[in-house]
Each structure stands twice: as structure tokens, then as C-alpha cells.
Amino acid sequence: MPETREVLLLAIVVGLGSGLAAVLMIRAIHLVQWVLVGWFQTPSQSWLYLVYPGVGMLIAYLIVRYVIKDNISHGVTKVLLAISRYDSKIKPHNTWSSILTSAITIGFGGSVGAEAPIVYTGAAIGSNVGRKAGLSYKNMTLLLGCGAAGAIAGIFKAPIAGVLFTLEILMFNMSMTSILPLVLSSVTSTTVTYLLMGDAVAFDNTLTPFNMGNIPFYVLFGIVCGFASLYFTRATLYTEDKVKEVSNPYRRWAMCAVGLGLMIFVFPPLYGEGYGVLTDLLNDNDMHSVEHSIFTSLFGYKWFLPAFFALVFLFKVFSMSFTNAGGGVGGTFGPTLFMGGIFGFVVARTSNLLGLDLPETNFVLVGMAGLMAGVMQAPLTAIFLIAEITGGYTLLMPLIITSAISYATIRIFEPYSIYTKRIAKKGYLLTHDSDKAVLTLLKLSDVMETNFMPVDKDSDLGTLVKIISVSSRDIFPVLDGDGKLCGTLHLGDVKADMFDSSRYSNPVVSYMKPAETLVYSDERMEDVIHKFEQSGAWNLPVVDRDGTYAGFVSKSHIFFAYRERLQQVSHD
């Protein structure tokens, strides 16, 4: 069977696996939450919020450290790295490990989302199916994308959003013919979820019909969503980095567990994903979402509720960062939706208290899309995901307006999404620019040549002539006793003297030339190409950071490898 036809069949298989994984994840989280907090009756019982999240984080951390023995956090970023650095190969344990650990983390109250772990799971299913089938890198990457698309489609019952998520966030270069496997996987996964969990939308709501007169408010809301997205992205990355400076993992866990427990105790909506709170706000039932709060008596003051949710919005970043940095496993996808909905409610309720008449449930829904478009820098995914999970197609116009403006606003200040910022700094981010994408995929170790015969710097011309007689190359690295590069010798440099035996006592260093440009073994290919352009050389020596000689890299070998890689990644 031609590989292109095989991919279509395997896409259905991957969609089936991703759909089942999504259902398993949802059921597992709900089961754990029902066991732990389903019996809460009064606010006095909420003291358990102090304990549960830390216990869940500790269990997840112990499983990751002693059972899985691998870093599985930040699933979407890991998928991007798998595509760019590991030939789209994801370890088999990722087909189940993220489900187990994130279900425990979120079920116990960890303030993160299940979407990134399920994307990692779906991508792992696609990657391993492709590897077992012996597919090429191009088609294995496509199946990996099918798994991710199926995961999003399955967990949200949103097939269009699943395809768009893969195209906007994961896949660096796709053609129209490659979309068919993504569609098959997404539809298959959504069908599985419908069969096992019913056909209701993910978020019930009571929306108000779209009013053209509110367009100016949606425009302004898009701008403030852009700045809210900037806060989300930078505060999250900064907080996680700072917390992880605590090197002792158990001390870090204890610090995060106490901080997270206190935040959830004071602000119960921070418990878990918070989707129940979003459903309440989408149905104009805001008081139900705070019924377990210790501030119940204060909600009678009209300004207290929006102030309370404004603090929930601000602290969600820290509760999410503490969960991830403290050993829990979860993503930022869910918190993005949660914070967007909360932000929309705060803006609408505050505006109404000041005398305007804005539809609060509509702003909750549009806020979800606005923050997603800004944080993930994926406006199309945001528009159609929110429309699909709420059935809110009547609000397609404000969804488009707010998402587009939020995306345009944050791009002024932040060129990368929360998923790509860290790997872009390391130079591992694939883009839709085919040249840059191929250079990112190329590894220096793949093009480095090591069949050059080294010469000791203390040797003489006679010794060099013997080496030349058995060498197939015309360049010779000159090394000291520790294997460090001192310079290089070209055959042309000694050609005039090598046939005169009276000169065989001449020291090698008298013919040696220092290496004007060095390539370091851990450098990116983009930087290597830049060094070739600056130096005008055809071959450059490669050394480790301590100067130890490793080999040579040639321009011709890079061109050949570039051409081969381009054929592998191009989608016909």
C-alpha cells in the first residue's frame, strides 16, 4: 500500500486512540474530584482545599520521578521539541503517563488544565503508531499532528478546532492534501467522545443575541485582552523560572503546596480546571460559583463580586505556576480559557455597575477566545474552539473581532506564544519559513565529518608526510597533547617542501595556520551557516566549548543534507 494511503487509514486509528484517551482523562478527573469534594455541603468544609492540591502534586511528582523517570510537563512544548529535535519520536510511556499524572494533579485540585497533557498523549499515540508502521519522518510528523488534533477534538467535541490547533500551533509547513488525515482523525475522535459522553456542548450557556451596537466595546475588549494575555504569558514564565530556582524538589514542593493551598482556600474557583465556574458564569449564575467561599457574607455588596473575581484572575497565574513547578502535571490551555472567561465577566460586570448595559454572559464567552488568541497566538483556533464548545456561533462576529485584535495587540510586545517562547530562545522553533525550518531540523552531528587525520603539534614534516601518504583528505587538524585544536594544515601549505627530505626536520607548527573561525559542537545550524558566509571558507573545524577537537564541517555536506531534509519535510 502506498504510504500516503496508509496514512489515511492510520489517521483513523490514531483518532480512535486519541478519542478514547480524552474520554479516559475526563472521566478520571471527574471521578477523583467527586470522591474528594463531591460531598462538600458548607463553606466550613473548604479547609480541605488547603490539603488536597499539595497531596495530588506530591503523588504526581513521585510517580514521575520513580516510575516514569522522565520530564513530562508542558506537553505542547514537548510536542514541538519532538518535531524539531527528535524526528517526531515520542517515548511510548507518554501514551499513558500524562493521563495518569495529570488526572491526579487536577483531580486533587491542581490549578492547571488537562488539554496540554492530552495533546501530548495524542501526539505520542500518533508518533508511536507511525514508528511501528515504519513511516518516513514527514508522515510520522503528520500522524503526530493527527494525534494532537484528535486529542483537542475529543476532549472538547470540537473537530474544526482540533484541525486548526494543529495547523496554527504545531505544524510548521502543511499543504491542503495533508489536511485530510487531520480531518479524519479529528472527526473520528469527536465521534468516539459523542458515543461515550453524549452530544451536549462542553459548556452550557444562556447567551444574548449579538447586538451590532456593542461592536465598539468588543474592539476595546480585544485590546485589553491583548494586555491581559501579555500578563498571563510573562507572569507565568517568570514565576515558574523563579520557583524552579529552589533546587531541592521536596522543599520546592512544600513551598508550592502551601502557597497553592492557601490561594485555593481563599479563592475556591482556583480549584482544578475551573470549568464549573465558567459554566456558572455563562449561565448568569455567578453566585453559585462562590458558594463555598469564606467570604459568603460579603457578596451582598455589589462591588465585592467583581473585585473577588479580579483577584481570582490575577492569582490564577500563580496557582497554575505553583502547580507545575511543585511537581504537578498539567497545562496552560485550560487556565487560558478560565482566565479569559473570568476576565470577560469582570470587565462586563464592572462596566454595568458604572452604568453601561453589556451582556455579561457574552463577554465571558468572548473573553475565553480573546485570551486564547493572545496567549497561544492562535486566533483561528480561539474563534472556532469557543464557537464549537459553547454552540455560540451567533456570536461569531464578536469572537472574530476580539480574537483578532487581541492577537494583533500582543504581537506588538511579544512575538512568541507561551508554548514557543522558551524553545525559540534556544533556536529549536520551527516556523512556516521552509529554509529556517530545515536548518532547525538539521543537527551539526549529522553533517560533521570525523575522517580527518590529526597531527601532533610537536611533530615534524617527516611525520606529517607519512600521515599524508595514508590520508584521504587534504586538511589536517593540528592538536596538542590534550586533544585541543591548535590550528590546521592544508596539503598545499607543505607541497613545496614535502618532496625535499632535507626539510623533514622542520616543525609542523611552522606550516600550521590558526583557525580563523571555529564551529562549536553545540551550535545551531543557522549560526554555522552564518559563520560560513562571514569567513568565505569551505571547511571549518568543529570543537567542544573547551577547545577539544571534534571534526570538520563542510559547506558541500551541509548543502547535501539540507536538500535531503527538505525532501523529507516537504508536503506534496
Q: With respect to residue 204, please indicate whether it lies within any of the assigned structural domains.
A: no
What does the pLDDT read at residue 39?
64
Task: With beta carbons less than 8 A apart as the criterion, state whether 111 and 160 touch.
Answer: no
Q: With respect to residue 487, please indicate whether it lies within any of the assigned structural domains.
A: yes
CA distances from 397 to 211, 387, 390, 392 (A): 10, 11, 15, 10
What does the pLDDT read at residue 4?
80
Task: With beta carbons less than 8 A apart as the criterion, state whether 298 and 78 touch.
Answer: no
What does the pLDDT read at residue 42?
53
Task: State whether 91 and 144 are in the same domain.
Answer: yes
Domain end residue (candidates: 371, 395, 427): 427
Reported as type and span, the H/E element at residue 446 is helix 444-447
Place of cell 447586538: 211
Q: E strands of 84-158, at which residues?
A: none
Of 79-83, 109-113, 285-289, 557-561, which one has max mean pLDDT?
A: 109-113
Q: With respect to residue 205, please indicate whether it lies within any of the assigned structural domains.
A: no
Task: State whether 532 and 457 are in the same domain.
Answer: yes
Average pLDDT of span 178-195: 93
The three cell numbers of residue 122 are 495524542
Task: State whether 405 and 458 are in the same domain.
Answer: no
Domain end residue (candidates: 399, 427, 455): 427
Buried-state track 478-501, b at ≥16 Cβ within 10 A, e below 16: bbeeeeebbbbbeeebbeebbeee
Task: State whether 33 and 174 are in the same domain.
Answer: yes
Q: With respect to residue 342, please indicate whether it lies within any of the assigned structural domains.
A: yes
CA distances from 184 to 226, 258, 304 (A): 33, 45, 48
Percent of the chain with pLDDT over 90: 48
Task: State whether 455 and 402 are in the same domain.
Answer: no
* Average pLDDT over all residues of the chain: 87
Local confidence band at 514 (pLDDT 50, 70, 90 cut-offs): confident
Task: State whether 533 and 390 are in the same domain.
Answer: no
Q: With respect to residue 20, please indicate whether it lies within any of the assigned structural domains.
A: yes
Phi, psi of 51, deg, nearest 5: -105, -45
Reduced to 3 states (helix: H, G, I; strand: E, B; else coil), residue 108 is coil
Q: With respect to residue 206, please indicate whether it lies within any of the assigned structural domains.
A: no
Q: Which residues contact 140 (CB under 8 A, 6 or more apart)?
A: 87, 88, 89, 126, 127, 130, 131
Local confidence band at 572 (pLDDT 50, 70, 90 cut-offs): very low
Average pLDDT of span 506-510: 88
Distance CA 327, CA 321 (A): 10
Local confidence band at 318 (pLDDT 50, 70, 90 cut-offs): very high
What does the pLDDT read at residue 329?
92
Task: State whether 458 and 312 are in the same domain.
Answer: no
**What are 400-419's pLDDT values in tens digits?**
999 999 999 999 999 888 88
Kind of pairing, strands 455-456 and 475-479?
parallel
Reduced to 3 states (helix: H, G, I; strand: E, B; else coil), residue 542 is strand
Task: With beta carbons less than 8 A apart as the criterion, state whether 184 and 15 touch.
Answer: yes
Distance CA 506, CA 321 (A): 65
CATH number at residue 510: 3.10.580.10
Percent of the chain with pLDDT over 70: 92
Closest to 549 in 3D by CA, of 511, 519, 524 = 519
Select the more confidently predicted residue: 445 or 398: 398
CATH number at residue 399: 1.10.3080.10
Domain end residue (candidates: 375, 398, 427): 427
Task: State whether 168 and 244 are in the same domain.
Answer: no
Whether 353 shows a pLDDT value over 80: the answer reads yes
How many domains in the chain? 3
CA distances from 128 to 88, 92, 139, 201, 568 (A): 9, 6, 12, 31, 18
Average pLDDT of span 5-28: 94
3-state helix, strand, coil in the chain (%, to 5): 65, 5, 25
Task: With beta carbons less than 8 A apart as the criterion, state whether 293 and 43 touch.
Answer: yes
Place of cell 569567513: 535
Whether 175 shows a pLDDT value over 80: the answer reads no
Place of cell 518516513: 136
Whether 571 shows a pLDDT value over 60: the answer reads no
Task: State whether 454 and 374 are in the same domain.
Answer: no
Task: State whether 334 and 382 are in the same domain.
Answer: yes
**What are 455-500's pLDDT values in tens digits?**
998 898 888 888 888 888 888 999 988 889 998 888 888 888 888 8
Task: State whether 355 and 396 are in the same domain.
Answer: yes
What does the pLDDT read at residue 284?
86
pTM of the model: 0.81
Q: With respect to residue 370, please indicate whether it lies within any of the assigned structural domains.
A: yes
Reported as type and span, the H/E element at residue 569 is helix 555-569
Q: With respect to residue 202, please indicate whether it lies within any of the assigned structural domains.
A: no
Chain Cα centroid distance, residue 111:
18
State the Cα angle at 357 between 352 and 358, rounded to 5°.
Answer: 85
DSSP 343-364: HHHHHHHHHHHTT----HHHHH
Average pLDDT of span 148-162: 93
What does the pLDDT read at residue 118?
94
Buried-state track 369-393, b at ≥16 Cβ within 10 A, e below 16: bbbbbbbbbbbbbbbbbbbbbbebe
Phi, psi of 415, deg, nearest 5: -80, -15
Whether 45 shows a pLDDT value over 60: the answer reads no
**What are 246-289's pLDDT values in tens digits?**
989 999 999 999 999 899 888 889 988 888 899 999 988 888 77
Select the more confidently predicted residue: 173 or 392: 392
Provide the residue range defining the domain that includes 459.
437-569
**What are 224-246's pLDDT values in tens digits?**
999 999 999 999 999 998 998 89
Average pLDDT of span 118-130: 95
**Lowest-pLDDT range of 151-165, 323-337, 434-448, 457-471:** 434-448
Furthest C-alpha separation in the chain: 104
**What are 417-457's pLDDT values in tens digits?**
888 887 777 666 665 555 566 666 677 877 888 888 999 98
Task: State whether 486 and 524 are in the same domain.
Answer: yes
Local confidence band at 223 (pLDDT 50, 70, 90 cut-offs): very high
Distance CA 329, CA 27 (A): 17
